Amino acid sequence: MQALLPRLPTGLQQVLMPLAVPPCHSQQISDAQSLALGRDHQYIEPEHIATALLNQQGGSVRTILQQTGINLNTLRSGLAQALEKLPRVKGASGDVQFSRDTIACFNLTDKIAQQHNDQFISSELFLLAALETKSRFADLLVSVGVTKKALQTAIDNVRAGQNVNDPNAEDVREALEKYTSDLTERAEQGKLDPVIGDA
């Protein structure tokens, strides 16, 4: 696991070591750490992780949240306000820790991943776990209209019955969605050329 999380301090690596964190998430965790450091926050909160996941290029979090019907700009604004309210520690050594809420989220994410028979945790399950915790981030998700049912439905739609058994599963899923087209949808819209067939 330490090879996947090269920029994280030892303390953060130790928390994540028991979890099957794929390489694509190590970048988001590093981004959340940078966000906390840049704002003089002592702890990495779920709001830091969520902000990093929303900023992820090609990730599934934005797609899933859009499918729940919420306004992403409202969520982003709420996250920014939540981060502004966090205490700042001036003159700190730059050593940040995961907060209790974040550790609880990661542990619950791991549990949900096991229930889904996934070998790796995924960002969409982090959202589902966060919604089930008693945290400020859970309250924010609820306040913008995220429900467990809508989130689970969106996750099921994006996953299309697939498990996360590859560390790059999310990247592959997003690439397939980006570079393939839904032939049924195109046929219904009359956008397919007629098949030239049997002569």
pLDDT digits (tens, 9 = 90+) for 122-150: 788 889 999 998 889 999 999 999 999 99
**What's the confidence (pLDDT) of residue 190?**
61
Where does the pLDDT of residue 176 fall: very low under 50, low under 70, confident under 90, or very high at 90 and above? very low
In the numeric block, the tokens 């609880």 are attached to 104
**What's the confidence (pLDDT) of residue 72?**
92
Lowest mean pLDDT segment, chosen from 1-5, 37-41, 105-109, 158-162: 1-5
Secondary structure of residue 44 in the 3-state scheme: strand
Is pLDDT at 179 greater than 70 in this prediction?
no
Total H helices, total E strands in the chain:
11, 2
In the numeric block, the tokens 């730059």 are attached to 94
Please tell me the total number of residues recorded for the chain in this structure: 199
Domain range list for the chain: 16-188
Q: Taking the C-alpha atoms of 26, 28, 30 and 36 in order, what is their torsion angle to the nearest 10 degrees? A: -150
Q: Could you give the CA distance from residue 83 to residue 56 in angstroms, rounded to a whole number?
A: 18
Is pLDDT at 46 greater than 80 in this prediction?
yes
Q: What is the pTM of this model?
A: 0.71
In the numeric block, the tokens 């499918």 are attached to 67
Alpha-helical (H) ranges within the chain are: 10-16, 23-38, 46-55, 61-67, 72-85, 100-115, 123-132, 136-143, 148-159, 169-179, 183-188
For the domain with range 16-188, which CATH number is right: 1.20.58.220, 1.10.1780.10, 3.40.1410.10, 1.10.3080.10?
A: 1.10.1780.10
User: Contact, 117 vs 31, CB < 8 A?
Assistant: no
